[in-house]
């Protein structure tokens, strides 16, 4: 358990030097994460393509992010943040900006390039927190970060809808401009410019993946990602089942609202909590809330409350995972370790969305939420094997 001490509210945390600058610059630079998937779907539909092609474009972009994030992060762990982030931001934004004018045969390749080059601002930010905050303040920053990222998936789609008023590719061009602007704002900060990777001679080709305990933790995160991928599809299907398709965005927003509340509430408490215990408690909360949603209540109000509740546990889970990744990562691999965490989450969420789509098409909306709850239950079982062995034996190749 962390030693007791004064709590630091989110507002007080943001008033500390560099914190607000880093957090908001990273959020702006990462806004394309919440814009591009919807922008690709709308672009495909506006140009006469079917949902199948839209799905291929989105899958190519997501696959690129999963592969490119760890690769660029490994470069940052060796050479610092500036060059990798600027190069990635320019290439990714250029690819997104030209995609509306690329012949149909090459659009998937360009979407893949945009994903591969996406600047890994999320791991870059989490690597910087220990350099600008005291060890006791870092958990609060992790929690606030986990809560704030929900804004990406609320504001991103809204920005796309506005940008689409300019034409079929408006959302993609807007994502390109916002992404490169936020990235340049982030790398211009003193914290990013002055960050120097730790020197060490024990470099391994597996990077952070040589840590067995970290690899096991990633497997749990794939399952958590699967859980979180379910609502994006299942809630839309639920809204249609009760005869109000317009309810879907509000339900998705309710889930994000729950996560925002959970993160803001947990932030001042994080330094005083045991991340190993709270990880298990947070996962247990996700199991219970998603199991409750599997009942598929006929009242949209009840479903809305359950959807808010299902978002509450995610930020504490992520906050604890961030702390464990920072602890488990071998020296000199922290940025890449956070990038692999994101890739694991993306893989899981893609599987969850696909599973929810298949079950919803078959009329088993409740089954989709059962899958979400069961996935978190398995994640809980895996996480217990990680947290109950805190010794160094698992941290390396042993």
Give the domains, in start order, of the chain with CATH numbers: 18-196 (1.20.1250.20), 206-390 (1.20.1250.20)
Range name among 43-52, 94-103, 138-147, 165-174 with the lowest pLDDT average: 43-52
Q: What average pLDDT does the chain have?
A: 86
pTM: 0.80
Residue 201 banded pLDDT, cuts 50, 70, 90: low
Q: Say what angle helices 82-98 and 32-46 make with each other, to 10 degrees.
A: 20
The DSSP 8-state label assigned to residue 109 in this structure reads H
User: Which ranges of 2-120 does DSSP label H, i.e. alpha helix?
Assistant: 10-14, 19-30, 32-46, 51-79, 82-98, 104-116
Q: How far apart are CA 184 and CA 189, in angstroms?
A: 9
Between the CA of residue 207 and those of 72, 73, 121, 131, 278, what are the distances in Å? Answer: 13, 11, 19, 21, 27
Residue 34 banded pLDDT, cuts 50, 70, 90: confident
Q: How far apart are CA 298 and CA 193, in angstroms?
A: 54
The DSSP 8-state label assigned to residue 189 in this structure reads S
Q: Say what angle helices 121-132 and 334-361 make with each other, to 10 degrees.
A: 140
217 neighbors 324 (Cβ within 8 angstroms): yes
92 neighbors 119 (Cβ within 8 angstroms): yes
Q: Which of 271, 225, 235 is nearest to 255 (CA)?
A: 235
Instruction: Name which residue leads in pLDDT, 152 or 28.
Output: 28
Residue 374 banded pLDDT, cuts 50, 70, 90: very high
> Average pLDDT, stretch 212-231?
90
User: Which ranges of the chain does DSSP label H, i.e. alpha helix?
Assistant: 10-14, 19-30, 32-46, 51-79, 82-98, 104-116, 121-132, 138-148, 150-163, 170-187, 190-194, 212-229, 231-241, 248-266, 275-293, 300-312, 314-328, 334-361, 365-387
Q: Which of 173, 141, 165 is nearest to 32 (CA)?
A: 173
Does the pLDDT of residue 105 top 90, yes or no?
no
Residues 283-332: pLDDT tens digits? 999 999 999 999 999 899 999 999 999 999 999 999 999 889 888 888 78
Tokens of 222: 């794939």
Q: How far apart are CA 269 and CA 316, in angstroms?
A: 10
């Amino acid at each position: 358990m962390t030693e007791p001490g004064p709590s630091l509210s989110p507002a007080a945390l943001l008033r500390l030097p560099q914190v607000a600058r880093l957090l908001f610059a990273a959020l702006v630079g990462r806004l394309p994460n919440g814009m591009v998937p919807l922008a690709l779907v709308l672009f495909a539909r506006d140009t006469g393509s079917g949902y199948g092609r839209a799905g291929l474009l989105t899958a190519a972009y997501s696959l690129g992010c999963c592969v490119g994030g760890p690769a660029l992060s490994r470069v940052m762990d060796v050479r610092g943040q500036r060059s990798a982030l600027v190069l990635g931001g320019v290439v990714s934004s250029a690819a997104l900006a030209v995609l509306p004018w690329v012949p149909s045969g090459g659009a998937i390749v360009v979407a893949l390039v945009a994903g591969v080059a996406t600047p890994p601002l999320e791991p870059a930010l989490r690597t910087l927190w220990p350099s600008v905050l005291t060890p006791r303040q870092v958990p609060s920053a992790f929690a606030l970060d986990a809560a704030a990222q929900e804004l990406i998936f609320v504001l991103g789609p809204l920005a796309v809808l506005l940008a689409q008023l300019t034409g079929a590719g408006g959302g993609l061009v807007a994502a390109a401009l916002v992404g490169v602007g936020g990235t340049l704002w982030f790398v211009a900060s003193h914290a990013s410019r002055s960050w120097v990777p730790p020197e060490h001679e024990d470099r391994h080709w597996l990077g952070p993946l040589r840590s067995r305990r970290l690899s096991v933790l990633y497997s749990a995160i794939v399952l958590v990602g699967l859980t979180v991928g379910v609502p994006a599809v299942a809630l839309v299907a639920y809204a249609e089942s009760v005869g109000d398709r317009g309810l879907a965005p509000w339900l998705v927003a309710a889930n994000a609202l729950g996560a925002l509340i959970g993160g803001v509430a947990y932030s001042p408490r994080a330094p005083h909590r045991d991340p190993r215990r709270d990880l298990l408690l947070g996962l247990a909360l996700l199991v219970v809330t998603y199991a409750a949603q599997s009942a598929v209540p006929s009242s949209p109000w009840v479903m809305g409350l359950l959807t808010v509740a299902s978002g509450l546990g995610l930020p504490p889970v992520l906050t604890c995972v961030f702390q464990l990744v920072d602890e488990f990562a071998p020296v000199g691999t922290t940025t890449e370790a956070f990038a692999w965490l994101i890739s694991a989450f993306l893989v899981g969420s893609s599987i969850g969305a696909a599973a929810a789509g298949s079950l919803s098409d078959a009329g088993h909306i409740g089954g989709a939420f059962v899958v979400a709850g069961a996935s978190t239950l398995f994640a809980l079982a895996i996480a217990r094997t990680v947290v109950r062995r805190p010794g160094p034996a698992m941290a390396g190749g042993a």
